[in-house]
Amino acid sequence: MSNDQVRNTILDSVRKNQPTSRSMPQIPYFGIDDTKDLVELFTQGVMRMAGAVIQDAIPDLDDFVHHRFPDAKVICSAVPECKGAIRPKELTHWPEASKTDVSIVRSPLGVAETGSVLLSDVELQINTIAFLSHDLVVLLDPDQIVQNIHNAYQHPYFKARPYSLLMTGPSGSGDIGGITVHPAQGVKTLTIVLAGVPH
Amino acid sequence: MASMTELVHDPVFSKPKALLSGVRGVQIVDFDRIDECCGFGGTFSVTEEAVAAKMGYDKLAFMQKASPDCIVSSDMSCLMHLQGCALRQKQDSISPYRRDLERSITMSPVNQARNAEAFLEDTVHEERLDKLLWLLRMRRDAAARQVPEWEELRTLASDIKEHTLTNLSDYLIEFEAQATANGVTVHWARDAHEHNQIVCDLLAERQISTLVKSKSMLTEECELRPFLETRNIRVTETDLGERIQQLDDQPPSHIVGPSIHKTTKDVANLFAKKYGSDPNNEDAAYLAGVMRENTRPEILNARAGMTGANFLIADTGGVIVATNEGNAELSAHTPSLHIVSAGIEKLVPNMESLAVFIRLLARSATGEAITQYTSTFRGPREGAAMHVILVDNGRSSRLGMERFWHSLKCIRCAACMNTCPVYRRSGGLSYGSTYMGPIGIIMMPTFDVRKYSELPFASILNGSCTNVCPVKIDIHEQIYGWREVMEEKGQIQTVKKQAMKIADKVLSNPTLYQIATTSMSTALDVLPHFAIYNRLNAWGKHRDVPEAASETFHEWYNNHRLKANEVLGL
Digit-coded pLDDT (tens) for B117-142 = 889 988 899 999 999 999 999 999 99
Residues of chain B found within 8 Å of residue A130, distances taken between Cβ atoms: 329
Q: What are the residues whose beta carbons fall under 8 Å from the beta carbon of B281, sequence distance 6 or more?
A: B268, B287
Distance from CA of A32 to the nearest CA of B (A): 9
Contact flag A184-B324 (C-beta cutoff 8 Å): yes
pLDDT of B98 strictly over 60: no
Q: Which residues pair with A107 in a beta bridge?
A: A140
CA distances from B154 to A29, A140, B81, B454 (A): 15, 32, 35, 30
- Residue numbers in chain A where pLDDT is lower than 50: none
State whether A131 and B194 contact (CB < 8 Å). no
Q: CB–CB of B172 and A11 under 8 A?
A: yes
Q: Is the pLDDT of residue B539 over 50?
A: yes
Of A21, A152, A176, the CB nearest to B267: A176
With residue B277 as reference, give the H or E element that holds it: none
Lowest mean pLDDT among B95-99, B113-117, B284-288: B95-99
A178/B260 Cβ within 8 A:
yes
Cβ-Cβ contacts under 8 Å, B293 against chain A: none
DSSP string spanning B105-172? Answer: PTTSPP-HHHHHHHHHH-HHHHHHHHHHHHHHHHHHHHHHHT-TTHHHHHHHHHHHHHHHHHTHHHHH
- Which of the pair, B387 or B58, is modelled with greater confidence? B387
CA distance A159 to chain B (A): 6
Contact B375 A25 (CB under 8 A): no
pLDDT band at B94 (very low <50, low <70, confident <90, very high): very low
- Write down the pLDDT at residue B182: 98
Q: Does residue B460 contact residue B421 with C-beta atoms inside 8 Å? A: yes
User: Cα separation of B312 and B306, whole Å?
Assistant: 15
- Chain A residue numbers with beta carbons less than 8 Å from the beta carbon of B176 are 7
- Tens digit of pLDDT for each residue in B215-259? 999 999 999 999 999 999 999 999 999 999 999 999 999 999 999
Which residues lie across from A164 on neighbouring strands? A120, B376
In CATH, A36-194 is 3.40.50.10420: yes
Instruction: Point out which residues pair with B311 in neighbouring strands.
Output: B320
Contact at CB, A159 and B351, closer than 8 angstroms: yes
- Of A69 and B44, the one with more pLDDT: A69
Helix axes B475-488, B437-447, angle to 10 degrees: 40
Residues in chain B with CB shorter than 8 Å from the CB of A184 are 240, 288, 291-292, 324-327
Residue A30: closest C-alpha in chain B: B149
Mean of per-residue pLDDT scores for chain B: 89
Task: Count other C-beta atoms under 10 Å from residue B386's C-beta.
Answer: 23
pLDDT at A155: 98
Q: Which of B127, B287, B376 to mutate to test the interface with A (most CBs of A within 10 A)?
A: B376
The residues spanned by each domain of chain A are 36-194
Closest CB from B194, B260, B372 relative to A6: B194
Decide: helix, strand or coil at residue B28.
coil
Are B372 and A19 a contacting pair at CB < 8 A?
A: no
Is residue B552 pLDDT above 60, yes or no?
Answer: yes
Cα gap B320→B378, rounded to integer Å: 9
DSSP state of B349: S
Can you say whether the dihedral through the CA atoms of A57, A61, A65, A66 is positive or negative?
negative
Share of chain B above pLDDT 90, in %: 64
Residue A62 three-state SS: helix
Lowest mean pLDDT among A48-62, B17-31, B442-456, B534-548: B534-548
Is A22 in Cβ contact with B370 (below 8 Å)?
no
- The answer to whether the Cβ–Cβ distance between A131 and B330 falls below 8 Å is yes
Q: Do B165 and A18 touch (CB under 8 A)?
A: yes
Query: Which residue of A14, A18, A167 is in closest CB contact with B372?
Result: A167
Lowest mean pLDDT among A81-85, B43-47, B109-113, B398-402: B43-47
Interface probe with A: pick from B260, B352, B372, B405, most Cβ of A within 10 Å: B372
The residue type found at B372 is Q
Interval B267-278: pLDDT, tens:
999 999 999 999
The whole-angstrom distance between B110's CA and the closest CA on chain A is 27
Distance (Å, whole) CA A85 – CA A106 = 17
Backbone angles phi, psi at B254, to 5 degrees: -155, 145
User: How far B389 CA sits from the closest chain A CA (Å)?
Assistant: 11
Fold of the domain built from segment(s) B147-262+303-396: Rossmann fold (3.40.50)
State mean pLDDT over B190-199. 97
C-alpha distance from A56 to closest chain B C-alpha (Å): 25
CB contact under 8 A, B240 and A173: yes
Helix axes B351-365, B150-166, angle to 10 degrees: 120
Between B396 and B567, name the one with better pLDDT.
Answer: B396
Is pLDDT larger for residue A151 or for residue B496? A151
**pLDDT score for B106:** 42
Whether residues B334 and A9 touch (CB distance < 8 A) is answered with no
Using CB atoms, pick whichever of B194, B355, B375 lies closest to residue A165: B375
Are B392 and A18 within 8 A, CB to CB?
no
- pLDDT for position A193: 98
What stretch(es) of chain B map to CATH 3.40.50.10420? 147-262+303-396
CB B436 within 8 A of CB B423: yes
Find the angle CA(B297)-CA(B303)-CA(B308) to the nearest 5 degrees.
95
Give the model's pLDDT for residue B87.
Answer: 83
β-strand B347-348 against B185-189: which pairing, if any? Answer: unpaired
Q: How far apart are CA B374 and CA A119, in angstroms?
A: 10
The number of beta carbons lying within 10 Å of the beta carbon of residue B536 is: 9
- CB contact under 8 Å between A10 and B190, yes or no, is yes
Chain A residue with the nearest C-alpha to that of B402: A19
Answer yes or no: is pLDDT of B356 > 80.
Answer: yes
Would the pLDDT of B469 be above 80? yes
d(CA B399, CA B304): 33
Cα B39 to Cα A52, B182, B431, B460, distances in angstroms: 45, 53, 18, 7
CB contact under 8 A, B168 and A27: no
Grouping H, G, I as helix, E, B as strand and the rest as coil, residue B75 is: coil
Residue B397 has, within 13 A of its CA and on its CB side, a CA count of 10
B159: pLDDT strictly greater than 60:
yes
Q: Which of A24, A158, A175 is the closest to B259 by Cβ?
A: A175
Question: Which comes out higher in pLDDT, residue B548 or B347?
Answer: B347
Cis bond before residue A162 (omega within 30° of 0):
no
- For residue A47, which residues of chain B lie inside 8 Å, CB to CB? none
Q: Cα distance from A130 to chain B (closest Cα, Å)? A: 9
Nearest to B426 by CA among B68, B89, B111, B95: B111
Q: Return the bridge partners of B347, or none.
A: B312
Q: Answer yes or no: do A131 and B333 touch at CB < 8 A.
A: yes
Q: Helical H runs in B214-371?
A: 217-221, 224-229, 240-247, 264-275, 284-301, 327-333, 351-365
